């Protein structure tokens, strides 16, 4: 095998892990796994998982510099929904290729949110 072939297999393995991580995370949060495959819609679903308002999606996509905070807010919301802390949310936002597989294949369970900001039991 040439180095190029090995590189192509490595890229496909990485992409398969990425897709599986998002799919499993969405499924754990009682959302359809296929939603992780649709661009823009998957971000909307992640905001729902993290109990954030839909208009943060617009901020995340359209406003430069502010989108860094919106991305952190997305990660922190997802982390809270799974019973994780703020640093884990930072990792989800800025190192998703590491933290989403940990979330998907680890023992984290979706807890959900109630509107007052406290975690509720999600089934």
pLDDT tens digits, 18-61: 999 999 999 999 999 999 999 989 999 999 999 988 888 777 77
pLDDT in tens, 60-114: 778 888 889 989 999 999 999 999 999 999 999 999 999 999 999 999 999 987 4
The confidence score (pLDDT) of residue 54 equals 84
- Burial class of residue 29, CB neighbours in 10 A (0-12, 13-18, 19+): buried
How far is the C-alpha of 40 from the C-alpha of 44, rounded, in Å? 6
Confidence of residue 115 (pLDDT cuts 50, 70, 90): very low
The confidence score (pLDDT) of residue 96 equals 93
DSSP assignment of 37-73, as one string? Answer: GSTTHHHHHHHHHTT--THHHHHHHHSTTHHHHHHHH
How far is the C-alpha of 58 from the C-alpha of 30, rounded, in Å? 24
Angle at 13 between CA 10 and CA 18, to 5 degrees: 125
Residues β-bridged to residue 119: 113
Residues β-bridged to residue 113: 119
Check whether 13 has a pLDDT greater than 70.
yes
Domain boundaries, the chain: 3-105
């Amino acid at each position: 095998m040439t180095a190029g072939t090995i590189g192509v297999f490595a890229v496909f393995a990485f992409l398969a892990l990425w897709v599986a991580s998002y799919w499993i995370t969405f499924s754990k949060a009682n959302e359809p796994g296929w939603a992780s495959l649709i661009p823009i819609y998957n971000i909307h679903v992640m905001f729902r998982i993290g109990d954030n308002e839909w208009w943060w999606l617009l901020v995340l996509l359209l406003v430069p510099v502010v989108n860094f905070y919106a991305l952190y807010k997305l990660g922190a919301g997802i982390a809270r929904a799974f019973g994780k802390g703020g640093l884990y949310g930072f990792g989800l936002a800025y190192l998703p290729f590491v933290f989403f597989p940990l979330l998907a294949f680890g023992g984290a369970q979706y807890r959900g949110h109630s509107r007052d900001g406290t975690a509720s039991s999600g089934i």
